[in-house]
């Protein structure tokens, strides 16, 4: 009998705890998708409050109960998702990879999906037509073509009308050829910036009036290479870094309109962004034809051709399961309090932390070991041989 509350404060503590528990059960009934989170992070404080009231007394129990409630509420504020309802989302680059998987994923969840594709008659577009619901609409959308971007805007605005567009996912991107920055032709730098940065900016600017109507979300798929320097990804990384900085500025500027902006920095995933072996052959040919004679001599043709081996082995080091990226985009689209930055995938967050908080010499050492290659340019091999 001594465990029961015997003071007005004790009864108040017990009553608040019971009321909290009943409220949580009602929330779980209304939101079955989040039932596990709600039951764990709201019922747990309720039960803990009763236990504390019984063991610590009324005052101590109330203090512990309130403290745990604050922590769980903060956690649930991040975890809580809005209902899908009839929310409409535009995804660029839906032919293959993350964009293709995301279009299927969001369609399956009940979103109205506008899937922008580079080729509306291509195999990726045909598969979306075959496997997705009637809610999904395909858009011919080369994001470097201003006319196609404007035509896509007119088609989307006609369908969503006064409700606006809930989300824009700037996913379309190209990798270019992974090689030393000195070796890359200027055309590769320009092409990466044109697609990965300027294209995303163009789409964002054109579709922002529709996002303002819905107070929706702008999600930019950047890369781990957009947050940290990685050898052989100068052109790609620079374009993605520009996109990440654009996302940060837009997050600040668009908050006054109620629009939330997020950047996704995935680590290595198998998306097909590296293209085909035939595409590589075309790019390596362009690279070798544009190299100055002395640069070609210093690196050596065997080093240049060795880059192809690196290219062909890239997928083996990438994760084929895209679900971490899809979950991150979904959270960015539906969370009541989305993050400004997501780092899905193995090593993405750890590498970013090392770059930000450790000395640069340690980061460079870490990356050199993580991305170590046996091949050296000809001039360096010759220099080593002379000194031994």
Question: Do residues 125 and 119 lie in contact, with contact meaning Cβ atoms separated by under 8 Å?
Answer: yes
Beta bridge partners of 115: 91, 138
72 in the same domain as 179: no
pLDDT recorded at residue 388: 58
Residues 6+ apart with CB under 8 A from 1: none
Question: Do residues 322 and 346 lie in contact, with contact meaning Cβ atoms separated by under 8 Å?
Answer: no
| 236 among known catalytic residues | yes
Number of domains in the chain: 2
Please give the Cα distance from 215 to 81 (Å, whole number): 15
275 in the same domain as 227: yes
- In tens digits, what is the pLDDT along the chain, a chain of 388 residues? 454 555 666 666 667 666 666 665 565 454 444 444 555 555 666 666 666 666 666 566 666 666 655 555 544 445 688 999 999 999 999 999 999 999 999 999 999 999 999 999 999 999 999 999 999 999 999 999 999 999 999 999 999 988 889 999 999 999 888 889 999 989 999 999 999 999 999 999 999 999 999 999 999 999 998 999 999 899 999 999 999 999 999 999 999 999 999 999 998 766 666 666 676 777 777 777 788 888 888 888 788 777 776 666 666 666 678 889 999 999 999 999 999 999 998 878 888 899 999 999 999 998 888 776 557 787 787 766 566 5
181 in the same domain as 119: yes
94 in the same domain as 72: no
Residue 159 lies in a domain: yes
- Does the reported pTM lie above 0.75? yes
129 in the same domain as 32: no
110 in the same domain as 47: no
157 in the same domain as 12: no
167 in the same domain as 30: no
192 in the same domain as 58: no
Residues 6+ apart with CB under 8 A from 107: 113, 132, 133, 135, 136
218 in the same domain as 187: yes
Range of the domain at 92: 88-370
| Catalytically annotated residue among 233, 236, 303, 342 | 236
192 in the same domain as 52: no
68 in the same domain as 174: no
Residue 31 lies in a domain: yes
Residue 294 lies in a domain: yes
pLDDT recorded at residue 238: 97
Residue 350 lies in a domain: yes
């Amino acid at each position: 009998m001594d465990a029961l509350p015997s003071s007005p404060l004790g009864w108040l503590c017990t009553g608040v705890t019971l009321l909290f528990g009943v409220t949580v059960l009602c929330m779980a009934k209304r939101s079955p998708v989040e039932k596990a989170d709600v039951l764990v992070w709201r019922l747990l404080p309720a039960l803990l409050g009763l236990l504390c009231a019984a063991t610590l007394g009324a005052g101590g129990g109330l203090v512990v109960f309130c403290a745990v409630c604050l922590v769980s509420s903060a956690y649930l504020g991040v975890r809580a998702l809005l209902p899908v309802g009839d929310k409409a989302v535009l995804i660029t680059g839906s032919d293959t990879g993350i964009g293709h998987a995301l279009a299927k994923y969001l369609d399956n969840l009940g979103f109205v999906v506008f899937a922008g594709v580079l080729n509306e008659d291509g195999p990726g577009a045909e598969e979306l037509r075959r496997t997705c619901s009637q809610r999904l609409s395909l858009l011919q959308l080369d994001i470097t073509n201003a006319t196609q971007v404007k035509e896509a805007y007119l088609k989307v605005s006609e369908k969503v009308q006064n409700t606006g567009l809930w989300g824009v996912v700037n996913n379309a991107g190209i990798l270019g050829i992974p090689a030393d920055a000195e070796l890359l032709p200027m055309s590769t730098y320009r092409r990466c910036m044109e697609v990965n940065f300027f294209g995303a900016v163009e789409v964002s600017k054109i579709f922002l009036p529709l996002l303002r109507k819905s107070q929706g979300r702008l999600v930019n798929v950047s890369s781990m290479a957009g947050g940290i320097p990685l050898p052989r990804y100068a052109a790609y990384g620079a374009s993605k870094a520009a996109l990440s900085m654009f996302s940060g500025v837009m997050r600040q500027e668009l908050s006054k309109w109620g629009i939330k902006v997020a950047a996704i920095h995935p680590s290595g995933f198998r998306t097909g962004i590296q293209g085909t072996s035939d595409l590589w052959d075309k790019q390596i040919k362009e690279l070798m034809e544009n190299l100055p004679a002395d640069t070609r001599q210093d690196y050596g043709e065997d080093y240049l051709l060795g880059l192809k081996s690196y290219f062909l082995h890239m997928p083996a080091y990438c994760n084929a399961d895209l679900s971490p990226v899809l979950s991150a985009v979904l959270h960015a689209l539906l969370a009541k309090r989305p993050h400004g930055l997501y780092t899905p995938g193995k090593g993405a967050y750890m590498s970013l932390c090392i770059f930000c908080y450790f000395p640069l010499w340690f980061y460079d050492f870490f990356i050199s070991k993580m991305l170590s290659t046996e091949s050296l340019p000809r001039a360096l091999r010759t220099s080593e041989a002379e000194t031994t």
